[in-house]
Structure 1
């Protein structure tokens, strides 16, 4: 089984001329990025970091050599950093790692309590104004569902599904009807 990687930070723009970078953590405590040790980027390269000040860090390659050249770190801008999922603590009740939601089946429960598959969670978006789930549909366009307790009232990660109640702005067509257009 392939190790699941979790996005925990993104390398930003260079800071100064000595190879420091702005680092954008995706974890509650930025200091954790140092504690996890070796991070892997989206190209498979391995890095460790050392916080210098604020959100500015020094990068070290897999040979533990510090990157000390602005031009070298400039080429790393926007690389995502990952760690294996098993290094993270288990989430509390009603908390979820975004990576655990990807791939879950999204179901809709009708008034008669029957359930219908709506699609599969494809991407979790978080642009700062609230999290949304992009649901990949077999037919039709993908749907964006706000990740709120009202729109996603039940989640069962172990069983591989979540229940959605799409807002009125999301068109829901039963799977047994065909597009009349």
Structure 2
């Protein structure tokens, strides 16, 4: 059985010239990244971290050798860090790991209250202003749905589906109409 990995952080830009990095944790308590011990990146390389302050860390490779210069750290920028799922606690009710949402069937309710397949959750986006789900559709373009209680009112991870209420599309003015203001 393949071990499921969960994305818990990303290596950011270098901090100074001595190999320190800005680290972007995706866990409630950033100290957890250090406490997990060995992390694996998106290229299969293993790392441990030691926080230097609330946003800056020292990196140690799989042989426990510290990355000590800015040039080496620059090559690691944007690497994603993962931990095996079994090391994470079970989420509370109405909490989800993004990896649990990927692959869920997205259903939509029709006017007559019957359900239809809308697509499949393909990607979970989080750029800091709110989470959105990218739904892969069989026909047409993928749909981007805000991950809010209004747009995603029901989720059943165990049964493998979620219900979506896509927001009405914003009307776009034709490009040949000039603004009168």
TM over 0.5: yes
Q: CA offsets, 1:103-156, max 9 Å, x none?
A: 000001223232110000001111111111100001100001111111111000
Q: Distance in 1 between matches of 2:127 and 2:24?
A: 13
Q: CA offsets, 1:50-88, max 9 Å, x none?
A: 001121100001111111122111110111101111111
Give the secondary-structure state (helix, strand or coil) at the position aligned to 2:7. strand
Task: Identify the residue that residue 43 of structure 2 maps to in structure 1.
Answer: 43
Q: Distance in 2 between matches of 1:151 and 1:17?
A: 46
Long gaps (5+) in structure 1: 171-181
Give the secondary-structure state (helix, strand or coil) at the position aligned to 1:94. coil
Q: CA RMSD in A?
A: 1.1
Correspondence list, 1:1-181, <5 A = 1-169=1-169
Structure 1 stretches of 4+ with a deviation exceeding 3 A read none
Long gaps (5+) in structure 2: 171-181
Give the secondary-structure state (helix, strand or coil) at the position aligned to 1:53. coil
Q: CA offsets, 1:19-38, max 9 Å, x none?
A: 11111111111101001111
Give the secondary-structure state (helix, strand or coil) at the position aligned to 2:34. helix
How many corresponding residue pairs? Answer: 170
